[in-house]
Structure 1
């Protein structure tokens, strides 16, 4: 069974994001970029399936700018077998929209015929949490989102999902789309020998036109701004004063 893992190049989660002075977007100049953390979890889970003998091949796919090659090489260094880069824009500030990503991935699935697609549940830059669900709709495959655990048994996958107030366990028929939550696993670090080996692993470059998909943006960012500063707290002298303020104002 092939396992397909989409990965996205995002601002490293340790970096403090800065908004451009003109409010046109986020400043990416000299900013460290890395693989989306949820996608790292997806890659790790796919590699574990291969190590267990459940999967035969792990393919990582990225859709975006040419610099995403670095992100794909990270996935290859972790243990993926080959990579596909779909260069959909030359502008690092142009975020490819989830529906476009899902349409391209659906075409990749037609070519590669994987038995399972594992995605991060969301990207930490836009937090949309939409691509996996859209991909399931386009392919007509079963989906299991927010996976806390994943077990493959024959032509079915059993997934424990994180839901409000607990876990929900479902069983879906393969092929399927699974999106990962934070507690699914702990991604491995790529060793230096594997980083060197990753440079020789195949990385195929494509364009949206190769798949017959129009990648032109449908959304326009009107304005980007910093979140408002948190209001200062107010000290109270007694429990009675606290209750009065909560009753009268609803806040302290």
Structure 2
């Protein structure tokens, strides 16, 4: 069994930067981390590898050269190899253009039985890329997965739904997007770190994937961010001190009544 774990590098929660001209996220920061839910996906792939003879795990990431760090971490945790999809042509890609590149990479790998990724990324929060990859590959997809039990020809998957859980039998190959409840990510071993240092991360561009540039990056993205702005917070603060006279309470009641009248007028009532 060959499993592909899609691993995305995202900015730390306090280090998100946007390009105001293109409306895209700046991904060249040094403080980038592996998307937490993708860590769960990788951990699940490695668990299946340990329990299923002959299973290999390939970690795949799309991003700038700095994303190689995420793949090295994946190898240190137990992945057999890492593949970085990197090119200037990929810059500024939306979820559709990103899924197009990832799907092409999976096709190039061949004989993939299972693709795992987090159900969303902490930067975009769209949850669209995994299902789009499956659609472009023409394979079934199951989302919000909390448990995977592999069989010979099918897998039994338990997913979270609004009112509980749903058990699904799904044939290979398939895509699964996982939730954090599926497992608890571990830590790399010393031997894993040595393996990661010695393993060469492959780099594929649009040439290796056979993709035309007009379908990639910002050019190939049908969705655009048209405006970026920071919300303005305005607070009118008044401090009323209690002096025992009861005046503060009276002022507060009067203030609330005034605000209520203004609200009614503003609502057109």
Q: TM-score range by the shorter chain?
A: 0.7 to 0.9
- In the alignment, the residues of structure 1 paired with residue 24 and residue 63 of structure 2 have an alpha-carbon distance, to the nearest angstrom, of 17
Q: Which residue number corresponds to residue 118 of structure 2?
A: 120
Match of 1:110 among 90, 107, 114: 107
Matches within 5 A, 1:86-235: 86-89=85-88, 94-112=91-109, 113-213=111-211, 214=213, 215-217=216-218, 218=221, 219-227=223-231, 229=233
Asked if 1:73 is matched to 2:77, the reply is no
Q: Which residue number corresponds to residue 243 of structure 2?
A: none
After TM superposition, give the deviation of residue 46 of structure 1 in Å.
Answer: 0.4
Q: Structure 1's 175 and 23: CA in aligned 2 closer, same or farther, altered over 3 A?
A: closer
SS at match of 2:123: coil
After TM superposition, give the deviation of residue 106 of structure 1 in Å.
Answer: 2.1
Q: Structure 1's 173 and 227: CA in aligned 2 closer, same or farther, altered over 3 A?
A: farther
- In the alignment, the residues of structure 2 paired with residue 24 and residue 18 of structure 1 have an alpha-carbon distance, to the nearest angstrom, of 10
Contact 1:88-1:96 at 8 Å conserved across structures: no
- In the alignment, the residues of structure 2 paired with residue 3 and residue 9 of structure 1 have an alpha-carbon distance, to the nearest angstrom, of 19
After TM superposition, give the deviation of residue 101 of structure 1 in Å.
Answer: 2.3
Structure 2 unaligned spans of 5+: 238-248, 265-269
SS at match of 1:49: helix
Structure with the higher fraction of residues in strand conformation: 1
After TM superposition, give the deviation of residue 88 of structure 1 in Å.
Answer: 2.9
**TM-score, normalising length: structure 2:** 0.77
Q: Structure 1's 164 and 187: CA in aligned 2 closer, same or farther, altered over 3 A?
A: same
- In the alignment, the residues of structure 2 paired with residue 133 and residue 232 of structure 1 have an alpha-carbon distance, to the nearest angstrom, of 46
Contact 1:151-1:158 at 8 Å conserved across structures: yes
SS at match of 2:230: coil
Q: Structure 1's 222 and 148: CA in aligned 2 closer, same or farther, altered over 3 A?
A: same
Q: Structure 1's 23 and 131: CA in aligned 2 closer, same or farther, altered over 3 A?
A: closer
Instruction: Select between 224-233 and 173-182 the one with higher mean Cα deviation.
Output: 224-233
Q: Pick the structure with greater CA Rg.
A: 2
Q: Which residue number corresponds to residue 6 of structure 2?
A: 6
Q: Which residue number corresponds to residue 85 of structure 1?
A: 84
Asked if 1:60 is matched to 2:59, the reply is yes
Q: How many residues align?
A: 243
**TM-score, normalising length: structure 1:** 0.82
After TM superposition, give the deviation of residue 232 of structure 1 in Å.
Answer: 9.1
After TM superposition, give the deviation of residue 165 of structure 1 in Å.
Answer: 2.6
Structure 1 unaligned spans of 5+: none
Instruction: Select between 189-198 and 173-182 the one with higher mean Cα deviation.
Output: 189-198
After TM superposition, give the deviation of residue 222 of structure 1 in Å.
Answer: 2.6
Contact 1:64-1:96 at 8 Å conserved across structures: no
Contact 1:162-1:168 at 8 Å conserved across structures: yes
SS at match of 1:199: helix
